[in-house]
A = this chain, B = another copy of it.
Amino acid sequence: MTSTLLHSLRRQRLPLAYRTARRYVATKGITTDPMTGELMPSTPDIQQNRLEITRNLNPGTPPPSQTLVFGRTFTDHMLTIPWDAVSGWGAPQIKPYGPLQMEPSATVLHYAQTVFEGMKAYRNENGRVTLFRPDMNMQRMNSSARRVALPTFNEDALLELIKQLIRIDKHWIPKEPGHSLYVRPTLIGTQNAIRVGPPTEAMLFVILSPVGPYYPSGFKPIALYGTTEFVRAAPGGTGAYKIGVNYAPGVLPQKTAEALGYSQNLWLHGPDHQLTEVGTMNMFVVFKTKDGAIELVTPPLDGMILPGVTRDSVLTLAREHLSGVKRLPDLPENLVVSERTVTMKEVKEAANEGRLVEMFGAGATNYFYRVAKANVMLGTAAVISPVKTIGYMGEDVHVPTGEDGMGPVSRPIWTELVGIQWGTISSDWSVLVAE
Protein backbone atom coordinates (compact mmCIF):
# COMPACT_ATOMS: atom_id res chain seq x y z
CA MET A 1 0.00 0.00 0.00
CA THR A 2 1.39 3.37 -0.93
CA SER A 3 2.00 5.99 1.73
CA THR A 4 -0.27 8.34 -0.19
CA LEU A 5 -3.10 5.90 0.14
CA LEU A 6 -2.40 5.33 3.82
CA HIS A 7 -2.36 9.08 4.23
CA SER A 8 -5.69 9.34 2.44
CA LEU A 9 -7.22 6.68 4.65
CA ARG A 10 -5.77 8.16 7.79
CA ARG A 11 -7.27 11.48 6.89
CA GLN A 12 -10.62 9.81 6.63
CA ARG A 13 -10.16 8.32 10.10
CA LEU A 14 -11.18 4.84 9.18
CA PRO A 15 -10.05 2.41 11.85
CA LEU A 16 -11.41 -0.43 9.73
CA ALA A 17 -9.61 0.82 6.71
CA TYR A 18 -6.24 0.34 8.32
CA ARG A 19 -6.91 -3.35 8.64
CA THR A 20 -8.66 -4.05 5.39
CA ALA A 21 -7.25 -1.57 2.94
CA ARG A 22 -4.12 -3.56 2.13
CA ARG A 23 -6.13 -6.65 1.20
CA TYR A 24 -8.68 -4.46 -0.49
CA VAL A 25 -6.29 -2.63 -2.71
CA ALA A 26 -4.64 -5.88 -3.72
CA THR A 27 -7.93 -7.15 -5.11
CA LYS A 28 -9.53 -3.96 -6.38
CA GLY A 29 -6.68 -1.84 -7.64
CA ILE A 30 -6.08 1.81 -6.99
CA THR A 31 -7.71 4.75 -8.72
CA THR A 32 -7.17 8.46 -8.56
CA ASP A 33 -9.41 10.89 -6.71
CA PRO A 34 -10.74 13.14 -9.48
CA MET A 35 -10.73 16.18 -7.19
CA THR A 36 -7.33 15.99 -5.54
CA GLY A 37 -5.44 13.70 -7.91
CA GLU A 38 -4.49 11.53 -4.98
CA LEU A 39 -4.49 7.76 -5.07
CA MET A 40 -7.40 6.06 -3.39
CA PRO A 41 -8.77 2.57 -3.29
CA SER A 42 -11.32 1.73 -5.92
CA THR A 43 -14.46 0.45 -4.25
CA PRO A 44 -17.49 -1.18 -5.88
CA ASP A 45 -19.87 1.09 -7.73
CA ILE A 46 -23.66 0.78 -7.70
CA GLN A 47 -24.56 -2.61 -9.15
CA GLN A 48 -28.04 -3.19 -10.50
CA ASN A 49 -27.71 -6.96 -10.32
CA ARG A 50 -27.36 -6.84 -6.53
CA LEU A 51 -30.83 -5.33 -6.17
CA GLU A 52 -32.96 -6.85 -3.42
CA ILE A 53 -36.71 -6.23 -3.53
CA THR A 54 -38.99 -6.45 -0.49
CA ARG A 55 -42.61 -5.86 -1.40
CA ASN A 56 -44.84 -3.67 0.73
CA LEU A 57 -47.45 -6.01 2.18
CA ASN A 58 -49.66 -3.10 3.23
CA PRO A 59 -49.80 -1.00 0.10
CA GLY A 60 -51.61 2.33 0.27
CA THR A 61 -54.30 3.68 -2.00
CA PRO A 62 -53.33 6.57 -4.25
CA PRO A 63 -55.43 9.56 -3.19
CA PRO A 64 -57.78 11.29 -5.65
CA SER A 65 -55.60 13.37 -7.97
CA GLN A 66 -57.39 16.63 -7.21
CA THR A 67 -56.44 16.36 -3.50
CA LEU A 68 -52.68 16.08 -4.14
CA VAL A 69 -50.42 18.61 -2.44
CA PHE A 70 -46.82 18.85 -3.60
CA GLY A 71 -44.41 16.61 -1.71
CA ARG A 72 -46.68 15.28 1.02
CA THR A 73 -47.88 11.96 -0.39
CA PHE A 74 -45.40 9.16 -1.02
CA THR A 75 -45.77 5.82 -2.78
CA ASP A 76 -45.51 2.31 -1.34
CA HIS A 77 -41.80 1.76 -1.96
CA MET A 78 -38.45 3.48 -1.81
CA LEU A 79 -34.96 2.68 -3.07
CA THR A 80 -31.99 2.77 -0.69
CA ILE A 81 -28.31 2.16 -1.45
CA PRO A 82 -25.72 2.24 1.35
CA TRP A 83 -22.13 3.37 0.87
CA ASP A 84 -19.03 3.33 3.01
CA ALA A 85 -15.47 4.31 2.29
CA VAL A 86 -14.14 0.78 2.74
CA SER A 87 -16.66 -1.36 0.89
CA GLY A 88 -18.08 1.19 -1.55
CA TRP A 89 -21.67 1.00 -2.73
CA GLY A 90 -23.61 -1.87 -1.18
CA ALA A 91 -26.60 -3.85 -2.40
CA PRO A 92 -29.48 -1.63 -3.58
CA GLN A 93 -32.79 -2.31 -1.89
CA ILE A 94 -36.33 -1.55 -2.98
CA LYS A 95 -38.42 -1.83 0.15
CA PRO A 96 -41.56 -0.45 1.80
CA TYR A 97 -41.52 3.34 2.20
CA GLY A 98 -40.80 4.06 5.84
CA PRO A 99 -38.66 5.86 8.40
CA LEU A 100 -34.88 5.80 8.35
CA GLN A 101 -32.99 5.07 11.54
CA MET A 102 -30.32 7.66 12.04
CA GLU A 103 -27.84 8.23 14.85
CA PRO A 104 -28.10 11.72 16.37
CA SER A 105 -24.44 12.19 15.40
CA ALA A 106 -25.07 11.51 11.69
CA THR A 107 -23.16 14.04 9.60
CA VAL A 108 -26.13 15.20 7.54
CA LEU A 109 -27.95 16.43 10.66
CA HIS A 110 -25.06 18.70 11.66
CA TYR A 111 -23.09 19.72 8.58
CA ALA A 112 -25.66 19.61 5.77
CA GLN A 113 -23.96 16.90 3.72
CA THR A 114 -26.88 16.35 1.39
CA VAL A 115 -27.41 16.39 -2.36
CA PHE A 116 -30.71 15.90 -4.14
CA GLU A 117 -32.40 15.84 -7.51
CA GLY A 118 -35.92 16.42 -8.73
CA MET A 119 -37.33 14.79 -11.85
CA LYS A 120 -40.77 13.74 -13.03
CA ALA A 121 -42.27 10.57 -14.47
CA TYR A 122 -45.31 11.03 -16.73
CA ARG A 123 -47.95 8.42 -17.59
CA ASN A 124 -50.08 8.91 -20.65
CA GLU A 125 -53.50 7.43 -21.38
CA ASN A 126 -51.98 4.29 -22.88
CA GLY A 127 -50.01 3.56 -19.71
CA ARG A 128 -46.73 4.56 -21.29
CA VAL A 129 -44.46 5.94 -18.52
CA THR A 130 -41.56 8.24 -19.37
CA LEU A 131 -38.92 10.39 -17.70
CA PHE A 132 -37.70 13.70 -19.15
CA ARG A 133 -33.92 13.87 -19.77
CA PRO A 134 -33.07 11.87 -16.61
CA ASP A 135 -29.42 11.60 -17.70
CA MET A 136 -29.08 15.33 -16.97
CA ASN A 137 -30.26 14.79 -13.40
CA MET A 138 -27.88 11.87 -12.89
CA GLN A 139 -24.93 13.91 -14.17
CA ARG A 140 -25.80 16.88 -12.02
CA MET A 141 -26.24 14.71 -8.95
CA ASN A 142 -22.70 13.38 -9.38
CA SER A 143 -21.38 16.90 -9.87
CA SER A 144 -23.19 18.03 -6.71
CA ALA A 145 -21.90 15.02 -4.75
CA ARG A 146 -18.30 15.86 -5.66
CA ARG A 147 -18.73 19.44 -4.44
CA VAL A 148 -19.70 18.35 -0.92
CA ALA A 149 -17.29 15.37 -0.82
CA LEU A 150 -20.03 12.76 -1.01
CA PRO A 151 -19.39 9.59 -3.05
CA THR A 152 -20.08 9.54 -6.78
CA PHE A 153 -21.72 6.66 -8.62
CA ASN A 154 -22.45 5.01 -11.95
CA GLU A 155 -25.21 7.14 -13.44
CA ASP A 156 -26.65 4.46 -15.71
CA ALA A 157 -26.92 1.98 -12.84
CA LEU A 158 -28.76 4.45 -10.62
CA LEU A 159 -31.11 5.42 -13.44
CA GLU A 160 -31.99 1.79 -14.15
CA LEU A 161 -32.75 1.24 -10.45
CA ILE A 162 -34.93 4.36 -10.39
CA LYS A 163 -36.84 3.05 -13.41
CA GLN A 164 -37.38 -0.23 -11.61
CA LEU A 165 -38.73 1.60 -8.55
CA ILE A 166 -41.09 3.64 -10.74
CA ARG A 167 -42.31 0.48 -12.52
CA ILE A 168 -43.19 -1.11 -9.18
CA ASP A 169 -45.20 1.96 -8.09
CA LYS A 170 -46.40 3.10 -11.51
CA HIS A 171 -50.07 2.82 -10.54
CA TRP A 172 -49.38 5.83 -8.28
CA ILE A 173 -48.78 8.08 -11.29
CA PRO A 174 -51.93 10.13 -11.87
CA LYS A 175 -53.17 9.85 -15.47
CA GLU A 176 -54.76 13.29 -15.60
CA PRO A 177 -53.04 15.76 -17.94
CA GLY A 178 -50.36 17.76 -16.16
CA HIS A 179 -50.12 15.31 -13.28
CA SER A 180 -46.96 13.33 -12.71
CA LEU A 181 -44.84 11.36 -10.29
CA TYR A 182 -42.15 13.48 -8.68
CA VAL A 183 -38.92 11.48 -8.25
CA ARG A 184 -36.60 12.63 -5.47
CA PRO A 185 -33.15 11.01 -5.33
CA THR A 186 -31.23 12.14 -2.22
CA LEU A 187 -27.69 11.37 -1.07
CA ILE A 188 -26.74 12.03 2.55
CA GLY A 189 -23.64 11.67 4.74
CA THR A 190 -24.52 9.27 7.56
CA GLN A 191 -21.33 8.61 9.50
CA ASN A 192 -21.74 8.73 13.24
CA ALA A 193 -19.08 11.25 14.14
CA ILE A 194 -19.47 14.98 14.62
CA ARG A 195 -16.28 16.06 12.94
CA VAL A 196 -16.21 18.06 9.72
CA GLY A 197 -14.68 16.03 6.92
CA PRO A 198 -15.40 13.73 4.01
CA PRO A 199 -18.01 11.24 5.18
CA THR A 200 -16.96 7.63 5.59
CA GLU A 201 -20.58 6.47 5.36
CA ALA A 202 -23.39 7.68 3.15
CA MET A 203 -26.79 6.62 1.88
CA LEU A 204 -28.57 7.27 -1.36
CA PHE A 205 -32.34 6.99 -1.30
CA VAL A 206 -35.08 7.64 -3.81
CA ILE A 207 -38.68 8.43 -2.91
CA LEU A 208 -41.67 9.06 -5.18
CA SER A 209 -44.52 11.52 -4.74
CA PRO A 210 -47.58 11.87 -7.00
CA VAL A 211 -48.15 15.53 -7.82
CA GLY A 212 -50.86 17.64 -9.35
CA PRO A 213 -50.83 19.88 -12.39
CA TYR A 214 -48.58 22.86 -12.66
CA TYR A 215 -51.39 25.33 -13.08
CA PRO A 216 -54.75 23.92 -12.04
CA SER A 217 -56.50 27.06 -13.22
CA GLY A 218 -54.17 28.45 -15.86
CA PHE A 219 -50.92 30.39 -15.60
CA LYS A 220 -50.55 32.87 -12.78
CA PRO A 221 -47.80 35.33 -13.58
CA ILE A 222 -45.81 36.08 -10.45
CA ALA A 223 -44.49 39.23 -8.80
CA LEU A 224 -40.78 39.17 -7.90
CA TYR A 225 -38.96 41.02 -5.17
CA GLY A 226 -35.61 42.26 -6.48
CA THR A 227 -33.48 41.09 -3.57
CA THR A 228 -30.21 42.77 -2.71
CA GLU A 229 -30.02 42.24 1.07
CA PHE A 230 -29.67 38.46 0.81
CA VAL A 231 -27.73 36.37 -1.70
CA ARG A 232 -28.56 32.90 -3.01
CA ALA A 233 -25.04 32.31 -4.32
CA ALA A 234 -21.68 34.00 -4.67
CA PRO A 235 -18.55 33.50 -6.79
CA GLY A 236 -16.57 30.61 -5.28
CA GLY A 237 -19.73 29.33 -3.56
CA THR A 238 -22.11 26.48 -4.29
CA GLY A 239 -24.82 28.07 -6.46
CA ALA A 240 -24.07 25.73 -9.37
CA TYR A 241 -24.92 22.59 -7.39
CA LYS A 242 -28.21 21.05 -6.31
CA ILE A 243 -27.37 20.66 -2.63
CA GLY A 244 -29.36 21.23 0.53
CA VAL A 245 -27.03 24.04 1.48
CA ASN A 246 -28.58 26.34 -1.16
CA TYR A 247 -32.13 25.94 0.15
CA ALA A 248 -32.42 26.49 3.93
CA PRO A 249 -30.99 30.03 3.68
CA GLY A 250 -33.60 30.94 1.05
CA VAL A 251 -36.62 30.53 3.33
CA LEU A 252 -36.19 33.77 5.29
CA PRO A 253 -35.69 35.87 2.12
CA GLN A 254 -38.79 34.18 0.67
CA LYS A 255 -40.78 35.07 3.80
CA THR A 256 -39.49 38.62 3.49
CA ALA A 257 -40.58 38.82 -0.15
CA GLU A 258 -44.05 37.53 0.80
CA ALA A 259 -44.36 40.02 3.63
CA LEU A 260 -43.68 42.75 1.07
CA GLY A 261 -46.38 41.41 -1.23
CA TYR A 262 -44.26 39.47 -3.71
CA SER A 263 -44.19 35.76 -4.57
CA GLN A 264 -40.51 35.04 -5.07
CA ASN A 265 -37.05 36.51 -4.72
CA LEU A 266 -35.28 37.78 -7.79
CA TRP A 267 -31.68 37.28 -6.68
CA LEU A 268 -29.60 40.27 -7.73
CA HIS A 269 -25.81 40.02 -7.68
CA GLY A 270 -23.08 42.58 -7.37
CA PRO A 271 -23.06 46.37 -7.32
CA ASP A 272 -24.68 46.47 -10.77
CA HIS A 273 -27.55 44.19 -9.65
CA GLN A 274 -27.14 41.40 -12.13
CA LEU A 275 -30.18 39.13 -12.40
CA THR A 276 -29.18 35.58 -11.45
CA GLU A 277 -32.11 33.32 -10.50
CA VAL A 278 -35.75 33.55 -9.43
CA GLY A 279 -36.58 31.76 -6.18
CA THR A 280 -35.40 28.23 -6.97
CA MET A 281 -35.66 28.63 -10.75
CA ASN A 282 -33.39 29.72 -13.56
CA MET A 283 -34.42 32.95 -15.21
CA PHE A 284 -34.98 34.21 -18.75
CA VAL A 285 -35.57 37.75 -19.99
CA VAL A 286 -36.79 38.57 -23.50
CA PHE A 287 -35.88 41.94 -25.00
CA LYS A 288 -36.74 43.63 -28.25
CA THR A 289 -33.30 44.89 -29.28
CA LYS A 290 -32.75 48.38 -30.63
CA ASP A 291 -32.43 46.94 -34.14
CA GLY A 292 -35.71 45.09 -33.83
CA ALA A 293 -34.57 41.53 -33.10
CA ILE A 294 -35.99 39.47 -30.22
CA GLU A 295 -33.29 38.48 -27.72
CA LEU A 296 -33.80 35.60 -25.30
CA VAL A 297 -31.30 36.10 -22.47
CA THR A 298 -30.29 33.95 -19.52
CA PRO A 299 -27.25 34.36 -17.26
CA PRO A 300 -24.25 32.18 -18.15
CA LEU A 301 -23.20 29.13 -16.11
CA ASP A 302 -20.50 31.08 -14.29
CA GLY A 303 -20.54 29.06 -11.06
CA MET A 304 -23.44 30.91 -9.42
CA ILE A 305 -26.18 29.55 -11.66
CA LEU A 306 -27.74 26.10 -11.30
CA PRO A 307 -27.38 24.20 -14.59
CA GLY A 308 -31.11 23.56 -14.84
CA VAL A 309 -32.56 20.86 -17.07
CA THR A 310 -35.39 23.18 -18.11
CA ARG A 311 -32.86 25.99 -18.68
CA ASP A 312 -30.86 23.79 -21.02
CA SER A 313 -34.03 22.56 -22.74
CA VAL A 314 -35.30 26.10 -23.39
CA LEU A 315 -31.93 27.13 -24.83
CA THR A 316 -31.64 23.99 -26.95
CA LEU A 317 -35.17 24.26 -28.37
CA ALA A 318 -34.63 27.93 -29.21
CA ARG A 319 -31.30 27.18 -30.90
CA GLU A 320 -32.69 24.20 -32.82
CA HIS A 321 -35.50 26.44 -34.02
CA LEU A 322 -32.94 28.93 -35.34
CA SER A 323 -30.65 26.33 -36.89
CA GLY A 324 -33.58 24.62 -38.54
CA VAL A 325 -33.16 21.30 -36.72
CA LYS A 326 -36.73 21.74 -35.52
CA ARG A 327 -38.87 24.78 -36.16
CA LEU A 328 -41.30 25.65 -33.36
CA PRO A 329 -44.62 27.07 -34.54
CA ASP A 330 -45.10 30.76 -33.62
CA LEU A 331 -41.61 31.22 -32.20
CA PRO A 332 -40.18 34.41 -33.74
CA GLU A 333 -37.76 33.99 -36.66
CA ASN A 334 -35.67 36.99 -35.66
CA LEU A 335 -34.68 35.41 -32.35
CA VAL A 336 -31.24 35.80 -30.83
CA VAL A 337 -30.26 33.42 -27.99
CA SER A 338 -27.80 34.84 -25.44
CA GLU A 339 -26.16 33.43 -22.35
CA ARG A 340 -24.88 36.66 -20.89
CA THR A 341 -25.02 38.91 -17.85
CA VAL A 342 -28.13 41.07 -17.62
CA THR A 343 -28.56 43.89 -15.10
CA MET A 344 -31.57 45.62 -13.58
CA LYS A 345 -30.50 48.83 -15.29
CA GLU A 346 -30.91 47.12 -18.66
CA VAL A 347 -34.27 45.60 -17.66
CA LYS A 348 -35.60 48.96 -16.42
CA GLU A 349 -34.43 50.76 -19.54
CA ALA A 350 -36.06 48.18 -21.76
CA ALA A 351 -39.28 48.40 -19.75
CA ASN A 352 -39.28 52.21 -20.03
CA GLU A 353 -38.66 52.04 -23.77
CA GLY A 354 -41.30 49.38 -24.36
CA ARG A 355 -38.62 46.82 -25.32
CA LEU A 356 -39.16 44.39 -22.43
CA VAL A 357 -41.09 41.56 -24.09
CA GLU A 358 -41.43 39.05 -21.26
CA MET A 359 -39.63 37.39 -18.40
CA PHE A 360 -39.99 33.90 -16.97
CA GLY A 361 -38.60 31.45 -14.48
CA ALA A 362 -37.61 28.03 -15.83
CA GLY A 363 -37.62 24.92 -13.69
CA ALA A 364 -39.72 23.56 -10.88
CA THR A 365 -40.58 25.37 -7.72
CA ASN A 366 -43.25 25.74 -5.11
CA TYR A 367 -44.41 29.26 -4.91
CA PHE A 368 -47.07 31.40 -3.40
CA TYR A 369 -49.21 33.62 -5.51
CA ARG A 370 -51.82 36.16 -4.52
CA VAL A 371 -55.22 35.58 -6.01
CA ALA A 372 -56.60 38.56 -4.13
CA LYS A 373 -55.13 41.04 -1.71
CA ALA A 374 -55.21 38.81 1.33
CA ASN A 375 -55.34 35.42 -0.30
CA VAL A 376 -52.15 33.53 -0.88
CA MET A 377 -52.20 30.17 -2.59
CA LEU A 378 -49.45 27.62 -3.01
CA GLY A 379 -48.73 26.72 -6.58
CA THR A 380 -46.45 24.01 -7.83
CA ALA A 381 -44.95 25.74 -10.76
CA ALA A 382 -42.93 23.97 -13.32
CA VAL A 383 -41.33 24.37 -16.70
CA ILE A 384 -42.25 28.04 -17.24
CA SER A 385 -43.36 30.62 -14.65
CA PRO A 386 -44.17 33.98 -16.23
CA VAL A 387 -43.33 37.15 -14.34
CA LYS A 388 -45.58 40.20 -14.21
CA THR A 389 -43.75 42.57 -11.85
CA ILE A 390 -40.34 43.19 -10.34
CA GLY A 391 -40.29 45.16 -7.12
CA TYR A 392 -36.97 46.97 -7.33
CA MET A 393 -35.56 49.69 -5.09
CA GLY A 394 -38.96 50.84 -3.96
CA GLU A 395 -40.78 50.80 -7.28
CA ASP A 396 -42.47 48.16 -9.41
CA VAL A 397 -41.15 47.41 -12.87
CA HIS A 398 -44.01 46.14 -15.03
CA VAL A 399 -43.33 43.09 -17.20
CA PRO A 400 -45.72 42.38 -20.11
CA THR A 401 -47.71 39.12 -20.00
CA GLY A 402 -50.10 37.70 -22.57
CA GLU A 403 -53.77 36.96 -21.95
CA ASP A 404 -52.88 33.37 -21.07
CA GLY A 405 -50.07 34.61 -18.79
CA MET A 406 -47.29 33.73 -21.20
CA GLY A 407 -45.41 35.69 -23.85
CA PRO A 408 -44.43 35.19 -27.51
CA VAL A 409 -41.21 33.31 -26.74
CA SER A 410 -42.21 31.31 -23.67
CA ARG A 411 -45.53 30.12 -25.15
CA PRO A 412 -44.20 28.16 -28.16
CA ILE A 413 -41.29 26.78 -26.11
CA TRP A 414 -43.60 25.74 -23.26
CA THR A 415 -45.95 24.07 -25.75
CA GLU A 416 -43.11 22.03 -27.20
CA LEU A 417 -41.65 21.12 -23.79
CA VAL A 418 -44.84 19.89 -22.20
CA GLY A 419 -45.74 18.13 -25.45
CA ILE A 420 -42.53 16.14 -25.11
CA GLN A 421 -43.09 15.54 -21.40
CA TRP A 422 -46.69 14.42 -21.81
CA GLY A 423 -45.78 12.25 -24.78
CA THR A 424 -47.78 14.01 -27.50
CA ILE A 425 -44.56 15.08 -29.24
CA SER A 426 -41.95 12.39 -29.74
CA SER A 427 -38.39 13.22 -28.73
CA ASP A 428 -35.11 11.62 -27.66
CA TRP A 429 -35.51 13.56 -24.42
CA SER A 430 -38.40 11.32 -23.41
CA VAL A 431 -36.98 8.16 -21.87
CA LEU A 432 -39.22 5.11 -21.61
CA VAL A 433 -39.71 3.59 -18.17
CA ALA A 434 -42.58 1.18 -18.88
CA GLU A 435 -45.10 0.43 -21.61
State the A residues within 8 Å of B (CB). Answer: 3-4, 7, 10-11, 13, 35-38, 69-72, 74, 78, 97, 99-105, 108-114, 116, 146-149, 182, 184, 186, 188-189, 192-198, 205, 207, 209, 228-231, 234-238, 243-245, 247-252, 254-256, 258-259, 280, 365-366, 368, 374-378
Known: A105-B71, A112-B245. A252 touches B195 (CB 8 A): no
Which residues from chain B contact A234 at a C-beta distance below 8 Å? 231, 234-237
Decide if B112 touches A248 in the complex (CB within 8 Å): yes
Pick the contact of A230: B229, B230, B236 (CB < 8 A).
B236
Known: A184-B194, A254-B197. A110 touches B70 (CB 8 A): no
Which residues from chain B contact A250 at a C-beta distance below 8 Å? 196
Which residues from chain B contact A189 at a C-beta distance below 8 Å? 248
Pick the contact of A13: B69, B148, B237 (CB < 8 A).
B69
Which residues from chain B contact A374 at a C-beta distance below 8 Å? 3-4, 7
Pick the contact of A256: B3, B36, B184 (CB < 8 A).
B36
Q: Which residue of B lies closest to A234 (CB)?
A: B234
Taking the full assembly, how many copies of this chain does it contain? 2
Q: Which residue of B lies closest to A187 (CB)?
A: B109
Known: A100-B102, A238-B249. A11 touches B376 (CB 8 A): yes
Alpha-carbon distance between A112 and B111 when the two chains are bound, in angstroms:
8
Decide if A147 touches B231 in the complex (CB within 8 Å): no
> Other CB < 8 Å A-B pairs besides A38-B259, A109-B188, A231-B237, 8 of them?
A37-B259, A110-B184, A110-B247, A196-B251, A229-B236, A234-B234, A238-B249, A243-B248
24 interchain pairs (CB within 8 A)? A3-B374, A10-B376, A10-B377, A11-B378, A36-B255, A36-B259, A69-B193, A70-B194, A101-B101, A104-B205, A110-B116, A110-B244, A112-B247, A113-B251, A147-B252, A148-B248, A149-B248, A196-B251, A196-B366, A197-B251, A229-B236, A230-B236, A231-B235, A234-B236
Alpha-carbon distance between A234 and B234 when the two chains are bound, in angstroms:
6
Which residues from chain B contact A237 at a C-beta distance below 8 Å? 230-231, 234, 237, 249
Alpha-carbon distance between A192 and B99 when the two chains are bound, in angstroms:
10
Decide if B70 touches A196 in the complex (CB within 8 Å): no
Decide if B101 touches A147 in the complex (CB within 8 Å): no
4 closest residue pairs by CB, A with B: A234-B234, A112-B244, A231-B236, A112-B112
Pick the contact of A245: B11, B69, B249 (CB < 8 A).
B249
Q: Which residue of B lies closest to A370 (CB)?
A: B7
Alpha-carbon distance between A328 and B8 when the two chains are bound, in angstroms:
43
A306 to nearest B CB, angstroms?
A: 14
Which residues from chain B contact A103 at a C-beta distance below 8 Å? 99-100
